[in-house]
Structure 1
Amino acid sequence: MLPLSETKSKKWINYLHLGERQFLKRETLIYEEGTRGTGDVYFLEKGKVKVYTAAFTGKTRTLEILHAGMAFGEQTVDKKPYFSTAIVLEDAVVYRFSSEVTKALVKEDQTFRQLMFKSLRSKLELLLNNIVLHSLPAEKILAHTLVEISKKYDNQSILPLSQHEITQYTGLTRITIYKLLKKWGPEVVKTKNKKIVITDLDSIKRVLSH
């Protein structure tokens, strides 16, 4: 049986001919928090996209790192202002479904409606998980974050994210992260060329079980 994410991705493939294929370079802004929503929906075929917000605290907070096979932007199909910003983290191939196409598909195609519903539900689950996560001790927050990001990069040991970007993702201070990385030691995780390098993922996972 295919994983749920892969199954959903295969279903999206049936609709890609209706979207506009775009090749986007790293740091390309797709949409910005506070601007009026266009009603467009996006599907990420390749690459990585970072979704973040600064609405409540004024500090940038990463909400999610999207990977291939995921849809985004669907929260503003009603054209209300975006409550987050989406920017390309790694050169990407994106399909943009215009507001008109999206509305027609939602109205006429049950499978597409289900895809939209599941995508929106996953966003709500993410927000709820983040609320629960940030009630945990800082060490567990960092451990959970590194494990989840590692999954998005196919369990690679080198994560193309800086310590500053990890700060934005976790909401922890740079000092707290520095102290935790020092506590774990380079045998578990270290930084190299301003990137996070996981040397013992199992040890990080054990932090979550204690």
Structure 2
Amino acid sequence: MAILFDSDINWETCLQFGTRKFFKEKACIYQQGTTGEGFYYIQQGLIKVTTTTAMGKERLLNIAIPGQLLGVQAMDRQPHFTTATAVNDSILYFFSCDHFQKLIKNQPSILNMLIKTVIHKMHILADKIYLDTLLPEQQLAAILMNICYEFKNFEVPLTQQDLTKCTGLTRITIYKILKQWKEEQIVEIHGKKVLIRKPEELKNLLGDVII
């Protein structure tokens, strides 16, 4: 799962400790059940994070965007409990467990950030696995609000096509929902971005669902 991007950390100075990796659209970055060997920083692209239930059904948990991290929950070399897949061609930096100490020396605040956000993600995971049981409007609201929380910004850098690929909802469904929200001035569409004008309306739509 993706974790919180901390604006106080200068990731550009940290990339020297990582390995640059390219992932084509639909490529698997890591698979649920495989042993974690490090974490990833997303420089470019969109990453879909899913989990597979005991019944074999895939459930969408999150959409990770540039500036976020992936896979930190398996930094203790335990199996991943999610699968990360590239929604489009993406560039990530991989930081191995062995190089983590060098990274901490360069940016000590990273350790505290990882601990806090992993704890937070564990608290909300149980609620997110039921995302696909929600109504389409609630699914889209949950995804958008989660990205806003993760990225600390109410401007979401996703197109309608991106949302279609990531959520599994049809383009017509996404279009109709966003059209209605635009009419209600809940969101604005600016090119390849969705600006959330009334986040409280999306929260109300979710009700007791934790994001």
TM bucket, shorter chain: 0.5 to 0.7
Query: Does the C-alpha gap of structure 1 residues 115 and 11 become closer, same or farther in structure 2, counting only changes over 3 Å?
Result: farther
Query: Does the C-alpha gap of structure 1 residues 109 and 150 become closer, same or farther in structure 2, counting only changes over 3 Å?
Result: closer
Instruction: Calculate percent identity across the aligned residue pairs.
Output: 25
Question: Does structure 2 conserve the Cα–Cα contact (< 8 Å) formed by 1:43 and 1:96?
Answer: yes
> How big is the shift at 1:114?
1.9
Supply the distance in 1 between the matched residues of 2:156 and 2:202 (Cα, whole angstroms): 20
Supply the distance in 1 between the matched residues of 2:35 and 2:147 (Cα, whole angstroms): 33
Query: Does the C-alpha gap of structure 1 residues 46 and 139 become closer, same or farther in structure 2, counting only changes over 3 Å?
Result: closer
Query: Does the C-alpha gap of structure 1 residues 14 and 122 become closer, same or farther in structure 2, counting only changes over 3 Å?
Result: farther
TM-score with structure 2 setting the length: 0.66
Encode CA deviations 1:154-193: one digit per residue, 9 max, x unaligned. Answer: 3656242448x535xxxxxxxxx8xxxxxxxxxxxx835x
Supply the distance in 2 between the matched residues of 1:125 and 1:113 (Cα, whole angstroms): 19
The aligned length equals 179
> How big is the shift at 1:44?
0.4
> How big is the shift at 1:56?
3.3
Query: Does the C-alpha gap of structure 1 residues 155 and 48 become closer, same or farther in structure 2, counting only changes over 3 Å?
Result: closer
1:200 counterpart = 2:175: no
Query: Does the C-alpha gap of structure 1 residues 128 and 97 become closer, same or farther in structure 2, counting only changes over 3 Å?
Result: same
Question: Does structure 1 conserve the Cα–Cα contact (< 8 Å) formed by 2:161 and 2:171?
Answer: no
Encode CA deviations 1:74-96: one digit per residue, 9 max, x unaligned. Answer: 11111111111111012111000
**Structure 2: which 5+ runs fail to align?**
187-197, 206-211
2:162 corresponds to which residue? 160
2:21 corresponds to which residue? 22
User: Counterparts of 1:8-19 in structure 2 under 5 Å?
Assistant: 8=8, 10-19=9-18
> How big is the shift at 1:59?
0.7
State the superposition RMSD in angstroms: 3.6
Residues 69-78 or 50-59, more deviating: 50-59
> How big is the shift at 1:118?
3.8
2:46 corresponds to which residue? 48
Q: Secondary structure at the match of 2:139?
A: helix
Question: Does structure 2 conserve the Cα–Cα contact (< 8 Å) formed by 1:150 and 1:159?
Answer: no
Larger RCO (alpha carbons 8 Å, 6+ apart): 2
1:172 corresponds to which residue? none
User: Counterparts of 1:50-89 in structure 2 under 5 Å?
Assistant: 50-89=48-87
**Structure 1: which 5+ runs fail to align?**
168-176, 178-189
1:101 corresponds to which residue? 99
Give the partner amino acid of 2:204.
S
Query: Does the C-alpha gap of structure 1 residues 13 and 114 become closer, same or farther in structure 2, counting only changes over 3 Å?
Result: farther
Q: Secondary structure at the match of 2:66?
A: coil
Query: Does the C-alpha gap of structure 1 residues 139 and 85 become closer, same or farther in structure 2, counting only changes over 3 Å?
Result: closer
1:191 corresponds to which residue? 171
Supply the distance in 2 between the matched residues of 1:11 and 1:108 (Cα, whole angstroms): 10
Largest Rg, 1 or 2: 1
Supply the distance in 2 between the matched residues of 1:77 and 1:146 (Cα, whole angstroms): 25
